[in-house]
Structure 1
Amino acid sequence: MKKNNFSAIMLILLFTGGIYSQTNNLTGSPYSLFGLGVQSNSNIGKNSGLGRSGIALNDPNMINNYNPATFSAISEKSFLLDIGFLGELNTIENSSKDELRLSANFSNLAMAFSLNERSGVGLSIVPFTDVGYSLIGIESNVEGSQDSFISNVTGSGGLNDFKLNYGYRLFDNFRVGVSASYLFGSIRETESVLINTSFLTIEEENYYRGFRFGFGFQFDMNNKYSIGLTTDFPTSLNGTQDRFVNKSLDFVGVIVEDEENLNISNFKLPLEIGFGVSSKPINGFTFNADYKRNFWSFTNQRDDIGRFIDQSLISLGAQYRARERGLKYWQNIEFRAGLNYDSGYLKVNNKVIDNYSFSAGIGLPINRRGTSMLNISFTNGQRGAVEGILIEENFNLININLSLKDIWFRKIKFN
């Protein structure tokens, strides 16, 4: 008999509710001060444990947002759901001191299903960038005098990626896909300034929104090797700002400025091209290698203290599973490991802010077929360096994803 409509309605409400409840306080990185923040460490399903690789990976039991062509591989009448959680512990270090920062939250909600034997579609809400920094006790001199003042600056927020993917299998070994993203969110910065007995608070919240489109394909060269290509086209995100300034003198507050919907410069996202290879050299093993190039220099953008440059990302991942459908529980457990290098896209004082990371993960089956998984991964990495005004950041991430697969319209027979 068919699944009842009540389950479908509850799922839709859960998904749409996630759009509005999604928050991006998922990082404590000081480098989230730049641009729109740091690239989100949130991933769907297995990708975190594979070093963020998967452009050529074709797996009917997972939601793979790295290439829309993969959605054509979803088994007919199948439904996939993924709910994620991310925890991050940062160690921040400069030439004089270091500190720890901890952040955690729900990180993603995604679903996908087949339309017919040749095509499938997916819908997801995932953080696109994360912002979460604090600069405490900054002492500066008042211009033209010997007086000084103390300021504290905090930032939070980020952008979300609400994405629709569609994949179609043209031939048995060739799949294509398209994607459409609505990027939206806000970045809030609060600065508190103390000058003698005066107290000044400046709050600015920048809102960005815009659409982005992409394309991808996958080609199976034989039963052991596949290649994939993705393209995300450049776009411009519209920006507006709400600004509030309040001054307090002798404990009497005065509103200096209160304005909404101020026009600010749009933020340009670059052309991104990715290429990937996936191989299964022997039974049970899968290897992935991705290279991606983001052409930031063509946007002609600058940050307040740096300029944008072209960015390269290299991702390597490996997975082992003893049996595709093992009869014993341990045969369905998946073991994963990965490496990731990001050359960085911002140059500050002729120093590029790059980062690298190592990840390890495990997939624990939660059904007999081993198609639904509790995916857990740990990532350790480093960003920046102790040099000049820069600092070194060591980050530790835990990604937990509940990845479920079910069959729609399955008939129940009674004897």
Structure 2
Amino acid sequence: MPSRTPSRRRFLALAGTTGVTALAGCLGFGGDDRPEYSRPSTEGPPPEPDRHVFASDGEWSSEGFDAANTRWDYGGSAPREEPSVRWRRGVGQSGLRAPTVSDGRVYVTETDRLMVVDATSGETEWELAGETPRGKPSVSDGTVYTVADDVLQALDAETGEQRWSRSFDGPLTMPATVQGEYLTVGERETVHVVSAEDGSVNWSRRLVGRVSYPALGAVGASPFVATGTGGVYSLGAGGEVGVHEDLSARFSTPPTLGRDFAYVGDDSGTLYALEPLTGAVEWSADQAAGRHGIAYTDNYVYSVNGSTLRAFDTESGEEYWSFDVGDGTGSPAAVGDTVYVGGDALYALDPADGGGTVRFKMDLGGHVTPDISAGDGVLYVPVVLENGAEVVAVEPGPSESTASSPSE
């Protein structure tokens, strides 16, 4: 059961605190600069990425889908009843992750290369070989932002031609969600916010504890960071520390920003909901979090620990339902009105029915891990096989309607 006792460890007000009494304020915004936190409409164009915390380009073009790392494509659709395989692509098992997806291209990270494949055929369009990508690239406005060791670079999404590169003193995390004109990367214990146009450093801030990929969430130039020593920070638009909390835990998962709280899971399996005004732990749940990201929607926070997917109330932490996926897994994904999760198979669940309705269970010949991404009605699923690994594109079957309503 979740604990409702607020932590006595309050956020410490440090130099540069914004004094704004909302999550947007904690992230360094105030007045007219405050971004929107209301749920966007599923009709019409998506909100502008630099003005809305739940904004994206409508595809899985970054680690956690949107600026808040919610893993929630609220207006999207994906297979619900009769899935079929569009294509399978063999990849190296080391570092296997779900790809990022943007503008009809799928970005697959191999051990020693970044492969860019056509979303329809699965055929290679171009690749960046001879380098070791450190996680998923981010894609925005026709530019791919990727990291290999200590080099951050921007590539043309259509051709792979390098637009710029910048070297740092140590290994980098992959860039956080691209927001407007900024990228956010971690280098050991330092956070850098750099220009997306040319890679020049806007500001840097050293923290206590290693910033581990992909433990970054960002809105505009204001990151929300969880470090390897249990530090949770919100940084202002100039790098000032607004609030800070030491939870005496180790974080290696990305923080997720909800409408009312920020959520983060530590390596011992505890899931925290942090109140943005004071930084207190509003609620926590033991044996609830895994070593990958969580998913957030209007009503639920979804997290996997061991072989169990759990759905918690976003405000109270009450556990609504749980589901056994049959084997250890990673991050769930919410698309439209369906929650997708891996394990001994690919599962699609109806969250409105207590997690009890399995819309489909699809055997892909191996273990589905560690996460799932989506784009244009298709799921992209990493599968570990007995001898090797694949990324599998799963689309709706011929008779299935892809229309869906927003996730509950």
TM-score (norm 1): 0.26
The structure number with the bigger radius of gyration is 1
User: Which structure has greater strand proportion?
Assistant: 1
User: Which structure has greater helix proportion?
Assistant: 1
